[in-house]
Amino acid sequence: MAVLEHGEIQIHTENIFPIIKKAVYSGHEVFLRELVSNGVDAINKRRMAALAGDCQDGEDGEIRIRIDREAKTITISDNGIGMDADEVKRYINQVAFSSAEEFLSKYKHEPDAIIGHFGLGFYSSFMVAGKVELRSLSAKPGASAVRWSCDGSPKFQLEEGDRSTLGTDVILYLQEEELEYREPSRIRQLITTYCDFMPVPVKLEGDTVNRCKAPWRQSPGELKDEDYRELYRYLYPFQGDPLLWVHLSTDYPYNLRGILFFPKLQENGQWDQGQIRLYCNQVFVSDSVKEVVPSFLLPLKGVLDAPDLPLNVSRSALQTDRQVRSIGGFIARKVGDRLAQLHGEEPQRYGEIWNDLAPFVKIGAMEEEKFADKVADRVLFATTAQSAEGQADPIATDAGCYTTVKGYLKRCPAQRRTSVIYCTDPVTQDSALQLWTARNIEVLTADALIDSQFLPWLEQREEQVSFKRVDAELDESFTDQTPALADASGEDDGEKLRSLFKDALNNDKVTVQVKSLKGEAAPAALILLPEQMRRINDVSALMQRQMPSLPDHHVLLVNKVHPLVKGLLKLAAGAVVTGSGPSPNTTLSHEICCHLHQLAQLGVGGLKAEQLLTLRTRSMELLGRLLERLN
């Protein structure tokens, strides 16, 4: 064969290959992504040039990959536009130029068709190959085949070739330490990872490996619900179905396509470890989108295809700029729109999946003001109110009823239309909760962790609204205001009980209040925590990464009309003063006071492990001593 040219590759450094191997690309395996992308690029170029009448059209485009284990080679072939000798010199030898940029200047009417962005893509092959050979035949009329080879140094050889079909072969002679890539299973895995949604078939030893069709490139009207679910199951196997999805599509001021899924959150899931995949014109780029997606949406899953993102030369990382932030804002708005649409059009479905949506919505509202404008009125809370037929609010689900704050306030009497009563645990706070529900007052259920921050944020946003937990303060409407009768010494039962509990507890940090609580469901004693004091305690625990505990300073409210408290008062009144110490009745009444205090603490989750042991032991002893008195 006649040698057309000997020379050195025109680059802006003495040897670009060590840079490519060690600095430009973070992983060797991306060589296949780059070469297949170039092949798809060449196929699209041929199609566009044929439409313009600049070359002959051909068969449907495809990429073929062949492995020769004995020769230790991988061949990536395409039937694209090919190259003649001049184009090889310009696009391969002159690394500083990008073929995609020059081609786009001529066929700029269809820019989305070009996958490649970087002239360096071809040279990624030297990460795994000691020698690279290129054989090409241009689709231009009258073109001759060429063969180019390089051994990894700046020296190359360009000569006449023998390829008889239009397109290009890239033959990689693998280095000894890179022989893993002659395994078909390894190449198949790389095709699935990087090339699965490329728009032309990628064949390995004759079998098409990739899916070709990218659903996010279609319009929502072309897809059915099952198409979305099928994509989710394919991308994230064994994780069930998504809760809902958001289809993204915009051409201005940037090009963005994608489908984002709300997954069912795992209890032990990592909030900041996203699983959204970033593509560039259907070519997988990265699974890290922290620079693009707002942090509160990182737990979402799915695909973003953004050709205009400012990727670095290896496509492995983003260069943050104003456009990236703008894309993040667009995504947040579209997610907010989708949530608002679901709440408005399918409220029951929205209510059914709310517990999984709640962390996204609440954290997002606190972090992103524009997102808050979309979703603040869509935040749901479980409620003790029941849904009536024909009512849109509360929303009835199998798990209970849900309402918005606005819906709650509309149902409140006029005098309470700015106060929201809530609990964080209907079980442990049952005693206080019963006081409110017995009076037909609606109570919401808030999340103990997220809502410790969300409720104050909501109060700041809605200045006329305040939240008060069921075990905060009780107003006069909960108590019997009938004046108490004093005995001969001038003390009434309330004062006697207060003194009894103060003596028994012997703790200045506990404030004892004695009142007559209305209702048969009223407990013998309960702990009250002023709302602001409890919030400060919860925030302090959160900062120390601990679960909130009962503050040392708290109120013990004793219900003097409860049968147990009445009996306690009689027991204490029967105490006989002796010179040798407290009487048995005094000792027993003090132990019952301490027991009631601990039971009240238990009702707010305020007992530590050792205190629970004390409570159990005292319960057994008290029962035994009381039974002895019956004999």
> Binding site for ATP: which residues?
34, 38, 78, 83, 168, 315
**Beta strand pairing status for 155-160 and 146-150?**
antiparallel
- The rounded Cα 379 to chain-centroid distance in angstroms is 17
Q: Residue 127 in contact with residue 16, Cβ under 8 Å?
A: no
Q: Residue 74 in contact with residue 174, Cβ under 8 Å?
A: yes
Give CA–CA dist 49/32, Å, rounded.
25
Q: Residue 482 in contact with residue 516, Cβ under 8 Å?
A: yes
The vertex-334 CA angle with 315 and 218, nearest 5°, equals 65
Cβ-proximal residues to 77 (8 Å cutoff; 6+ apart), any chain? 39, 63, 64, 65, 66, 167, 168, 169, 170
Q: Residue 263 in contact with residue 229, Cβ under 8 Å?
A: no
Q: Which residues are annotated as a binding site?
A: 34, 38, 78, 83, 168, 315
Give CA–CA dist 391/531, Å, rounded.
32
**Beta strand pairing status for 554-559 and 510-515?**
parallel
Of how many residues is the chain composed?
631
Give CA–CA dist 148/171, Å, rounded.
10
Q: Residue 529 in contact with residue 604, Cβ under 8 Å?
A: yes
- The rounded Cα 479 to chain-centroid distance in angstroms is 46
436-443 contact pairs (CB < 8 A, 24+): 436/470, 437/384, 438/519, 438/520, 438/521, 438/522, 439/477, 439/478, 439/518, 439/519, 442/383, 442/384, 442/385, 442/408, 442/411, 442/412, 443/383, 443/384, 443/470
